[in-house]
Amino acid sequence: MLNSIENFTMIQKIGEGSFSEVLKVVNIKTGQIFAAKRLIRQLNLNELRNFIELRVLRKLDHHPNVLGLIDFIYEQEAGILTLLFNLMDKSLFDLIKDRRRRLSETRCKNLLYQMVNGLNFLHNNGIFHRDVKPENILIKVECNNSFVNPTRRELLQIGDLGSAGYTSSPQPYTGYVGTRWYRAPECLLTDGFYGPKMDIWATGCCFYEILTLDPLFPGENDIDQLHKIHDVIGTPSNETLQKFNGLTMDVEFPKKSRIDFYMLVPRLSHHGVDVMKKMLVYHPTSRISARKLLQHAYFDDMKALEARDSIAARITFENINDNDDKRDFIRLKQRAQSEYRQIKKIEMELTKRIEKQLERGWNMPDCDKKKTFVRAMTFAGKNAKKINFT
C-alpha cells in the first residue's frame, strides 16, 4: 500500500454493484488515470486480512489476461477499502449489448482465446473465478505493433475476483455463486459441490453470447435455468445425475434430446462447434479443462501468430546498425505485411463464398468442408512460408 486517498480525485462514476462502486480517478501528483473499486461496506483489520479479492490479487503474478492490482488504499478510521486497477475501455457486455451486426468468428475466437488463457492462469494458481460473465470480462483497445500485422488489438482481461475460490479449500463451497444465466449444472443441482470447471461452462455461455448477441440460457429461476439447459444439451441420464456429489434437487425432468450444435450456431466453423460442445458438457468431470482447451486445434492459428509476433518482437529497427541491414529489414517487413494481407484476403473471399452458399439453402457436406479448408490453408501456408524471420 503506497498511496493515500488524498492523492486521488474522482473524475466520474463508471459502475456500481451491491458491494462496491467503480470510479474513474486521477492521481493528482502524476496525472495517471485508474479505475478505483471502492467497497461500500466497512471492514475492520481482521476482515481486511481475510478479504478474498485482496488476498487473491496480492498472491497472483502479472498475467496479460487477468486484471491485476496496481495498489490498494485502506482508510482505517472509516474502514473503507479501495482497490486500484488499470482503467479498461469497456466490458464484453458493453461490446455486444447495442450491436445489431454480429462479430466475426475470428474476433470472437481471439476474445475466447484470451479468456481461456486468463482462466488457465487462475486455475494453475489454485484459484477459480466463480462469476464469469460478460460484465466481468474487460476489454482495452491497444495498438498492436506486430511485425506482420500492425493493427488495433483488443486486449481482454478477466476482472472482479470478489467471488473467487481456492481449489485447495474443501467442498462444499458457498451455495450461491455466479450469475444464474452462466451457472453450471453442478452449481444448480448440488449444495456447493463444484470446482474450476464451472468457469469453463460460463465461458462457453459467453462464447455463444458474443457469437450470437443473445444469452444461451436466460433462466428466470433455478428450475427454469435447468430446463433451458436441457432444451439445448438434452436431459441428463440417471447415471449422469447420480455422479453428482451432494445432489439436492429431487426433480424429475422431462426427456429432451440434444440440439445439433451446427444448428445452434450454423455459421460457426467445425472446430469452433467442437470447442463449444466440449465446454458445455453436463457433468464437470467430462467437461474440458482450460489447459486442454488451449491445446485444441481451434486455437492453432492464434498460437502461430503469437509465436510469430514473439520472434518478430526481438527484431527492432533501432538495434540494427548497418544501413544495408536496415534497408533489408524494411523490405522484409513490407513483404511480410503484403503476404499477410494476401492471406487475409483469401480467407475473406472463402468465407463470403461459403456464406453465399448457405444463404441459398445449400449445406456443404463435412467432407467438402474439410477439402475446402485444406485447400485454403495449404495455399495460405505456402505463402506464409515465404516469410523468413530468422
Strands 151-158 and 137-144: antiparallel
Q: How many residues does the chain have?
A: 390
Mapped onto helix, strand or coil, the DSSP state of residue 56 is helix
pLDDT at 148 over 90: no
Phi, psi of 18 (to 5 degrees): -70, -30
For the question of residue 160 being annotated catalytic, the response is no
Q: Which one has a higher pLDDT value, 162 or 353?
A: 162
Q: Which residues in the chain belong to E strands, given as ranges?
A: 8-16, 20-27, 33-39, 69-75, 80-86, 90-91, 127-128, 137-144, 151-158, 165-166
Q: How far apart are CA 212 and CA 265, in angstroms?
A: 8
Region 195-219: mean pLDDT is 97
pLDDT at 147 over 70: no
Predicted confidence (pLDDT) per residue in 111-129, tens digit = 999 999 999 999 999 999 9
pLDDT at 224 over 90: yes
DSSP per-residue codes, 300-314: HHHHHHHHHHHHHHT
pLDDT at 319 over 90: no
For the beta carbon of residue 266, count every other beta carbon within 10 angstroms.
11
Q: How far apart are CA 98 and CA 315, in angstroms?
A: 41
Predicted confidence (pLDDT) per residue in 25-80, tens digit = 999 989 999 999 999 999 999 999 999 999 999 999 999 999 999 999 999 889 99
Predicted confidence (pLDDT) per residue in 173-194, tens digit = 876 677 899 999 999 998 889 9
Q: Give CA 158 to chain center in angstroms.
A: 7
DSSP per-residue codes, 235-292: PPPHHHHHTSTTB----PPPP-PPPPHHHHSTTS-HHHHHHHHHHT-SSGGGSPPHHH
* Per-residue pLDDT at 304: 83
Average pLDDT, the chain: 84
Q: How far apart are CA 257 and CA 114, in angstroms?
A: 32
Nine-digit cell string for 204: 462457453
Binding residue positions for ATP:
37
Predicted confidence (pLDDT) per residue in 344-355, tens digit = 677 677 767 766
* Per-residue pLDDT at 354: 67
Q: Which helix (H) or strand (E) holds 122?
A: helix 105-124
Q: How far apart are CA 277 and CA 279, in angstroms?
A: 5
Contact 276, 207 (CB under 8 A): yes
pLDDT at 140 over 60: yes
pLDDT at 388 over 60: no
61, 98, 131, 231: the catalytic one is 131
DSSP 129: -
Q: Which one has a higher pLDDT value, 231 or 313?
A: 231
| Range in 57-66, 82-91, 348-357, 374-383 with the lowest mean pLDDT | 374-383
What residues have CB less than 8 Å from 209, skipping those under 6 apart? 96, 134, 215, 216
pTM for the whole structure = 0.78
Specify burial of residue 334 (Cβ count, 10 A radius: 0-12, 13-18, 19+): exposed
Most confident of 256-265, 345-354, 377-386: 256-265
What residues have CB less than 8 Å from 167, skipping those under 6 apart? 123, 126, 127, 128, 195, 196
| Range in 90-104, 151-165, 217-231, 349-363 with the lowest mean pLDDT | 349-363
Percent of the chain with pLDDT over 70: 77
pLDDT at 377 over 60: no
Nine-digit cell string for 323: 544501413
| Range in 70-84, 109-123, 158-172, 242-256 with the lowest mean pLDDT | 242-256
Binding residue positions:
37
